[in-house]
Amino acid sequence: MTTGKQWSSQSAIDYYAQHRHEVADIYPSETVFLPRILFPGAKVLDVGCASGGFFNIMRSYEPAVEYTGIDLSATAVEMARARYPEATFVLNEGFTLPFEDNAFDLVHCTSVFNNEPNYQAILKEMYRVSNRFALADIRLLKGIGNQISTTYNIQFEADGIENTVPYVVNDADDVVNFILQLDPKPKALRGTGYFHTVAKEAGTDSEICMTILLLEKGNATGGQTVFDLGDLPIEFSAT
């Protein structure tokens, strides 16, 4: 996993203080599901919230969201609390979420699984504490067996400090199979994304599918999960 120390480096803190607080800052793929699944009074948990930018983004879509953010960086949590005192921020590493089962309507997580080899542990916790939706981005490729995990140096706005974190790409079918064995079996799995060239640190020459997955918790009708992955430029064997 990455550590609070890595994400508390001055350049990372400064970057997330200045970026990704407005709808205009986020990727078009990140706007596909989010505005459709928020509703007045929705209880939202944001895993890896940095300085709380997605609170501001979510309330641009739906002013009455009840937002909680967690992050493993104490500096990020302090900054988020100072900037958005009307939201709740908790210092937590994502692997054991300090919340009851089904506590949130939406559990959201962006730009975490690309640096976290054990995405399964976090996704399982996200699903447990959600009563309806879990929304996360993840980088996928077909036929890589399980996972490619290399390392690279995160340097935000060139402060010259070495700060190496994992760079993680997961096998597309492996991820879907993992999701299908969550309990309860998801009612639906939707996805959107696009292929994008990544720098050599990804450990592959291929373009990588930058993917957003929306899991809908509930009882799969007749034990069958509804798949809506047609927008993704990947053929899944598991579906």
Q: Residues interacting with ligand SAM, by CB under 6 A?
A: 1-2, 7, 16, 20, 47-50, 53, 70-73, 76, 93-94, 110-112, 116, 122
At 132, give phi and psi (nearest 5°): -145, -65
b/e map of 61-98 (b: 16 or more CB within 10 Å)? Answer: ebeebebbbbbbbebbbbbbbebbeebbbbebbbeebe
Q: Give the residue with the Cβ less far from ligand SAM, 94 or 186.
A: 94
Q: Give the residue with the Cβ less far from ligand SAM, 7 or 104.
A: 7
Q: Give the residue with the Cβ less far from ligand SAM, 95 or 219.
A: 95
Other Cβ atoms closer than 10 A to 26: 17
Residue closest to ligand SAM, measured at CB: 48
Sequence letter at residue 212: I
**How near is the Cβ of 75 to ligand SAM at its closest, in Å?**
9
CA 199 → CA 136, 202, 207, distances in Å?
22, 6, 9
**How near is the Cβ of 30 to ligand SAM at its closest, in Å?**
8
Q: Give the residue with the Cβ less far from ligand SAM, 54 or 225.
A: 54
Cβ-Cβ contacts under 8 Å for 197 (sequence gap 6 or more)? 207
CB 90 within 8 A of CB 31: no
Q: Give the residue with the Cβ less far from ligand SAM, 29 or 238.
A: 29
Cβ-Cβ contacts under 8 Å for 114 (sequence gap 6 or more)? 137, 138, 139, 167, 168, 169
Distance of CA 159 to the CA centre of its chain: 26
**How near is the Cβ of 133 to ligand SAM at its closest, in Å?**
16
Q: Give the residue with the Cβ less far from ligand SAM, 114 or 225.
A: 114
**How near is the Cβ of 218 to ligand SAM at its closest, in Å?**
25
**How near is the Cβ of 67 to ligand SAM at its closest, in Å?**
13
**How near is the Cβ of 158 to ligand SAM at its closest, in Å?**
17
Write out the DSSP string of 98-124. Answer: SS-TT-EEEEEE-SSGGG-TTHHHHHH
**How near is the Cβ of 207 to ligand SAM at its closest, in Å?**
21
Q: Give the residue with the Cβ less far from ligand SAM, 17 or 188.
A: 17
Distance CA 62, CA 36 (A): 10
